[in-house]
Amino acid sequence: MNELHRRRRALARRTIPAATVLLLPALLLPTLALASGGGAGAATRPELLVKTILGLLGVVALAYLGGHPRVNAWEARLGISHVVTAGFPFVLLGLAARHPSVGILTDPVVGQLGTLLGIALGWIGLVAGFRFDARLVGGLPRGTARVVALATAIPFAVVVGLTGLALLSLTGGLGGAAPRGGVLRDALVLGTAGAMTAKTSARLLRSTEPATLLSRIIRIEELAGVAGLAAVAAYFRPEVEGTWQLPGTAWLLLTVGLGATMGLVTYAMLQCTRPGRAELVVLSLGAVSFAAGLAGSLHLSPVVVTFLAGVLLANFPGAYHGPLGAALRRLERPVYLLSLFAIGALWDVADWRGWLLAPVFMATRLLGKRLGANAAARGELPLGLEAREALAVAPLGPLAIAIVVNAQLLYPGRSVSLIASAVVGGAILTELVVQLVAHGKLLTLERRARAAASAPEGDSREATG
C-alpha cells in the first residue's frame, strides 16, 4: 500500500506541473481570440498587426522561458512528462495561431516564417556540430561502431521500406500515377529522421556508465542523420532554371566544402576578435545567418552546413570554446521550441493522410529500433538490458524535427507537409509510448536486478532468468 501511495503521489507531482505548463498556452489563445474580435480582417488593419506582433513576441518569450536553465532543472527534478517539455505544446500553439479565429499567423506572416526557420535550423546544426568533439570517438569500447551502425541502419531501412510503401499507397503511386522520385525522397527523409534518438533516452538509465555510453552513441548517431540529410539535399535537388547544373555527388562535395569553409571563416573571425558578450552575439548570430543563407541560396541544407562548421570549431584550439558553447547551448532550446511553433503553423491538419502516416511512422520506427537494438546487443560490446531497452524504445530528438523542417524548406509542397505531419505526430505518439512503456519496463528491470543482488547466489539465477 505504501508503494502504491508513493507512486500515486509521484504521478500527481508529474501531472500537476505538466498541466500548468499546458495551461499557459491555453490561456494565451482565448485572450488573443477575444482580441481578434472573432475574425481575421484585412492584414493591414493596425489592430490586427498589433495583435500579430504581440502574439508572435509572446511565443518568442514563451520559447525563451521554456529553455531557461531553471525550467530544465525543474523538469529534471520533478520528472515531468517529456511530451510537455519536448515542446510539443508549441506545435499546438502554432496550429492555433494559424487558425482564422485567432488570426495571429496570417498568410503573409506565415510566408515570412521561412527566415525564422532558417536561423533556427542553422543554430540547431551548429549546436549539434559543436558538441561533436573528436574525443567523443576516442576511448570508446570495442564494438561501439557496430552498435551505432546497426542502431541507425536497421531503423533507417525499416522506416524507408515500410513508410515508402505507405506513401506510395497514400499518393496513388502504387498504380504508377504519382512520381516515385518524390516518394523515395520523402521516405529517405522519414528514414533519416526515424533513425535519430533523443538524448533524453540516456536519462532513463539510472546507472552512470551505461548512460554515458548511450549518450555518446546517440551523439554519434547524429552524424548519420546529418549525412542522410546531406545526401537527400544533394541527390534530390529541385529543378531551377538558370542555376548551376551539377551531378548529385558534386553537390554533396560542395556541401562539405561550404561547411568546411564556413567553419574556417568562423574560426578566423573568433580568433582575431577579443569577444566580449556583445561581440560574441554578433559573431555567432552573423555566422549562423550567413551560413544558413548561403546554404539556402544554393538549395542546400543549412543544418548540414552549420553542423560541419560546428564540428570544425569544436575541434580547433581556441579560447572561444567556453563562451561560444555556453551561448549556443543557452539558445538551443528556445530556438528548437520556435521551430516547433513554425512547424505547427505550417502543418496541414486537414490532410487525413498525415494523421494516417503518423502511427505508421511511429510503429515502423519502434520496430526498426527494436530490431536494431537486439542486433546491436549481440556484438562485442555488452549492452545491458536497460541500455538495450533505452535504445529500442527511444523518443525522437530535436535533430529529427530539424531534418523534417529542413525538408519542408527545401521542398515546399503537399507531400513534404505530409511527412512533417508524420514525424511530428509520430514523435508525440512515441513520447507517449516511451512514458507509458519504458518507465514501467525499466522499473521492472531495476526491481529484478535489486532482487538478484540481494538474493543468495543460488536463487539469483532464478530471479533474473
Partner 1 sequence: MNLVLLVVLGGLMHATRAFGPAAPGDAGTLLAFGYVLVSAFFAGGLFKQLRLPRLTGYIATGVVAGPMVLGLLSREMVGSLDVVSGIAIAMLALTAGNEISFRSMRPLLRSVAGISVVGVLGTTVLLTAAVWLLRPLLPFLRGLGPAQAAAVAFVLGVVMVAQSPAVVVALRDELRSDGPVTRTALGVVVLADLVVIVLFPIASTLAKAAFGASADAAGTARLLAWEIFGSLGAGAVVGAVLALYLRKVVAGAPFFLLLVTIVIAEVGRRLHLDPLLVALAAGIVVRNASGAGDALHREIQPSSLPVSIVFFAVAGANLHLDVLALVWLPAGAFVLVRGAGLLLGSRLGALLAGAPPVVQRYAGFGLLPQAGLALALSMLFASTFPEFGAEASALTLGVVALNELLAPAAYRLVLLRCGEAGRRAPELPDGEAAPPLALVRR
For the bound state, the minimum distance from the C-beta of residue 347 to partner 1, rounded and expressed in Å, comes to 18
For the bound state, the minimum distance from the C-beta of residue 20 to partner 1, rounded and expressed in Å, comes to 19
Q: Which of 322, 307, 317, 246 has the alpha carbon at shortest distance from 277?
A: 322
| Nearer to partner 1 (CB atom), residue 341 or residue 361 | 341
Distance, CA of 66 to CA of 61 (rounded, Å): 8
322 binds partner 1 per the rule CB under 8 A: no
CA atoms within 13 A on the CB side of 287: 31
Locate 111 and state its grid cell: 510566408
For the bound state, the minimum distance from the C-beta of residue 254 to partner 1, rounded and expressed in Å, comes to 10
Do 425 and 358 contact (CB within 8 A), yes or no? yes
Stretch that binds partner 1, among 95-103, 111-119, 393-401, 441-449 (CB under 8 A): 111-119
For the bound state, the minimum distance from the C-beta of residue 70 to partner 1, rounded and expressed in Å, comes to 8
Residue tagged 542546400 (cell numbers): 300
CA atoms within 13 A on the CB side of 80: 19
Distance, CA of 401 to CA of 363 (rounded, Å): 17
Q: Which of residues 235-264 bind partner 1 (CB under 8 A)?
A: 240-244, 261
297 binds partner 1 per the rule CB under 8 A: yes
For the bound state, the minimum distance from the C-beta of residue 95 to partner 1, rounded and expressed in Å, comes to 21
SS3 track for 274-333: CCCHHHHHHHHHHHHHHHHHHHHHCCCCHHHHHHHHHHHHHHCCCCCHHHHHHHHHHHHH
112 binds partner 1 per the rule CB under 8 A: yes
Do 189 and 403 contact (CB within 8 A), yes or no? yes
For the bound state, the minimum distance from the C-beta of residue 238 to partner 1, rounded and expressed in Å, comes to 10
282 binds partner 1 per the rule CB under 8 A: yes
Distance, CA of 296 to CA of 421 (rounded, Å): 23
Q: Which of residues 371-400 bind partner 1 (CB under 8 A)?
A: none
Would you give the DSSP letter of residue 239?
P
**Phi and psi (nearest 5°) for 144?**
-65, -40
Rg (C-alpha) for the chain, rounded Å, is 23
414 binds partner 1 per the rule CB under 8 A: no
Residue of 287, 311, 345, 381 interacting with partner 1 (CB under 8 A): 287
105 binds partner 1 per the rule CB under 8 A: no
Do 288 and 122 contact (CB within 8 A), yes or no? yes
293 binds partner 1 per the rule CB under 8 A: yes
Count of CB atoms situated within 10 Å of the CB of 448 = 14
Site string for partner 1, 46-75 (x = CB under 8 A): x--xx--xx--x--xx--x---x-x-----
Total site size for partner 1, rule CB under 8 A: 52
Residue of 28, 150, 193, 294 interacting with partner 1 (CB under 8 A): 294
For the bound state, the minimum distance from the C-beta of residue 388 to partner 1, rounded and expressed in Å, comes to 40
Stretch that binds partner 1, among 115-123, 156-164, 178-186, 398-406 (CB under 8 A): 115-123
Binding stretches for partner 1 (CB under 8 A): 46, 49-50, 53-54, 57, 60-61, 64, 68, 70, 111-112, 114-115, 117-119, 122, 240-244, 261, 265, 268-269, 272-273, 276-279, 281-283, 285-298, 409
